Chains A and B, each alone.
Chain A
Amino acid sequence: MIATIVASCKKFLSPDSPSVYDSTYIFGNISDANKAVNGVYALFNTDAFTSRVSNNFTGNNDIEVGGVSAAPDNSRRDIWSFECTSANADLLTVWNNAYNAINRANECIAGIEASALYKSNDASMLQLEGEALTLRAYWYYLLINNWGDVPYKTTPSRDGDNFYLSKTDRNVILTNIINDLVTIEPKMKWADQLDYGIERINREFVMGFIARLALERGGYALYPDLTMKRSDKDYLDYYNMANAYCRKLMTLKPHTLDPSFSNVFLNECKYIKPLNSDVLYEVAFGPVAGDVGWCNGMRVDAGTHQYGTGSAYLSLSPSYYHSFDTLDVRLPATCSIIYYSSTLQQTPLSATSITPAKWNRMLVPVPLGTASSKGTGINWPLMRYSDVLLMLAESENEINNGPTADAKDALRKVRQRAFPSSAWATKVEGYITTVSASKQTFFDAIVDERGWEFGGECLRKYDLARWNYYGKKVAQARNITNQMGIDANNGTGTYSNLPDVLYYKLNADKTCTFYNRYAKVIGGAPSGYSTLNWLKSLYSSSTGGPSTFALYSWRGYPDNSGTTPLRYILPIHGSIITDSHGSLKNDGYGF
């Protein structure tokens, strides 16, 4: 009797919970384990990723430039201008989201590894393990790029763990996550074997990502003493590794680049996801999710039309725009000098607000609606096959002290798509011959090519850092911008053949015709055309000096010689320092 009472009392105080599950149940079958891994993916669909770490955190550089105001304002603009302080709330948002994703991934990895299906080498479970490991690696990659050394945790958090982790050397973390992926990669599935193709992390992406991580590991990084260093002892090993994985992918699963460069992004805008083509993996945004086409892409002003607002936070620098060969199809596909007004009239933009043209919210299958803004559903590419080609070319050049036939061939594939075949003789073959003169010239060609290929895709910042080119390229961009302004106003100099002003015409069909896009026209406005200050605006006639664009955009890096390292590393948010009880500090980096 008493025993019964005690037992029922015990049960009464530990009631069932129909709506919750434990780890053993969830990882006991593929369907539920899928949903658990979806939880890690879901953390891509947060402001911390969509508008912040994937976009706003990647300016400013020589290509992507977010507009900076007259004084630091503790917003994303301070991150753009390298003046971010530990009070910037965006730092907290991204950091927390990253570790939230890492912990969810840790929970999945532990759950999967403890499951019977995993122990019996179930292919689907191994694939899920690979996805979780890659997602964890991706978030560590983002953390390392933005903060350098960070706390490193690979087990799901439980009470009793040491919460107060100090920083782990970024090279240790990189080595570990590379090794994780190297182990799981052969057990994963190709995109064409998966239910959601390139929207799910797949074997080819993991190979490419191993290469990217290896180049990061073998590249330069900023250290607390404000020097740029790389691990000279073993950096070449990692170039070899990057090379091996690019080759492995190109051998085991060769992809064909989409013959049309603009089509790659058109597909994304139209929700088309071709297999074995350009994009290896893109973040899948469902209905009314994602900010592509809102903060990155064509500007569309709100009006009575059904497309809503797209505002393009990042613009592309005028020096980048004019660095393109005018025959390069990637120029119009990457840079837009018009926006759509509230009446959908194509309207010219100024030279300091050239927007990324790759994504356009007006192209999605069903118009997003008059009052729509965020939530375009357009996917965000994390890696394309041309990246793998260019990583192969880059690693070949580094390992062999100069371009090999394979290196040139990879570059050739990328450039052939960029130019009409009629121009291949000069723009591809001739060009490759010229740039293959030395290891350095070929390397610089890779630097340029990656710029032209990936403009607006927010990869530049991390590339520049690992090459130790960040300061150099920023100084270059600023100097060129200034010189363009001076030359446009003086009518002489290196850039005086470029348009000082643009002549344009707004047509009745709401299109906009430019009389000149890439060259200066002598003799004033042709009849029927209006005038827009173009490179002229890069020089301030009132102050007799650079425009505010050049003055503000890279303000935190005043060195015009580009020799001092640029402080691209961000401070840790003040509240994280406080909560760490002394285990984390903003030491070094001049914070």
Chain B
Amino acid sequence: MKGRMIAPGNTKGEAIVSPEPIGFYGGIDINTGVVIEKNHPLEGSCVKDKILVFPNGKGSTVGSYVIYGLKKNGVAPAGIINKETETIVATGVILAGIPCVDQIDISQIKTGDMVFLDADNSEVTINK
């Protein structure tokens, strides 16, 4: 699948897919990478080294710092794939250097799929 590059890089990993938007601030623990938002579809899952797939960001504008902090703390996702990346997530992945592509039909990706994310070429490949 071809999308739009938000932040460059090339990575692969197991997909973890949220059908709901993610607010990083208050949504993901900056020290552990575990999703802590109550009643979120991914509550209790860890995003570390995964390809994190979700439609768009939501909530606090501090989210960019949380993404940056996840990376510095070694618990960041390996890559991010969105339907539509908004400024908060874009700022976070650019600063943190996490490969990110958007404008992808994320309904094609299921949790557990092996995903190759070639952000440099704005490309996503899925291995079922």
User: Do A and B truly interact?
Assistant: no
Chain A residues with CB under 8 Å of chain B are none
The residues of B with any CB-CB pair to A shorter than 8 Å are none
